A and B are shown apart, each in its own frame.
Chain A
Amino acid sequence: DAKTTQPTSMDCAEGRAANLPCNHSTISGNEYVYWYRQIHSQGPQYIIHGLKNNETNEMASLIITEDRKSSTLILPHATLRDTAVYYCIVRVSSNQGGKLIFGQGTELSVKP
């Protein structure tokens, strides 16, 4: 699975959009980009995933560059409850048993 690089931490004002970048320059053609988050003292939570098209769901939007070497997770109106560590993961759709390889993630602090 390709390696990802994310900023260690970011701040965001409550109510503003939070844009979390992820670099995955060695991504292969059959690898998806996944985003999970982990709120303090809880288990990780799936947010969104995509292959090459931009995706949106009730939680967030995922923008993947045309060359697929990077992506951005957008939380359109961040709230205090969005404070968490956000993990960008790339993996093939049918790799060895579905394991997720977590990096260090981005610690997002949403401030009032």
Chain B
Amino acid sequence: DTAVSQTPKYLVTQMGNDKSIKCEQNLGHDTMYWYKQDSKKFLKIMFSYNNKELIINETVPNRFSPKSPDKAHLNLHINSLELGDSAVYFCASSPISGLYNEQFFGPGTRLTVL
């Protein structure tokens, strides 16, 4: 019944490792997003995909690579993890890119880099 789901919910890893976070939406939406919420609670968009095509890349380091195998999934792969990558990552989806439709957010993945 979950609309936007993310796995894992918690991720603890060492600096330098490579990790992935998965996101799936069962709402039939065309657009998916990744947001990052840092320790100061500021939420900032990272990427947006529409029908598997990248449409927003907010000057995120190349170590972050989103992958959209189909419209329902948008995964986030992070290479060479750094301490500053520790944050909560939220996936979201919306029906149509760019229009005034609401965005539905997942529960978040708390990433801790040691």
Contact = CB atoms under 8 A, between A and B. Distances in A.
Given A42-B107, A43-B92, A44-B105, A98 B43 contact: no
Contacts of B58: 99
A22 B35 CA distance: 23
B98 A49 contact: no
B99 interface: yes
Contact of B98 (A38, A41, A43, A95): A95
Interface in B100-114: 100-108
B50 interface: yes
B43 A44 contact: yes
Contacts of B96: 98
Nearest to B48: A97
Contact of A98 (B42, B90, B98): B98
Interface in A18-55: 32, 38, 41-46, 49
A97 B99 contact: no
A78 interface: no
A102 B35 CA distance: 10
A9 interface: no
A68 B8 CA distance: 42
A43 B106 contact: yes
B103 A97 contact: no
Given A43-B92, A44-B43, A49-B100, A98 B105 contact: no
Interface string A10-23: 00000000000000
Given A102-B42, A104-B42, A94 B99 contact: yes
B100 A99 contact: no
A4 to B, nearest CB: 13
5 contacts: A44-B92, A49-B100, A93-B100, A97-B56, A99-B45
Given A45-B105, A49-B100, 4 more contacts: A43-B4, A44-B103, A97-B50, A99-B48
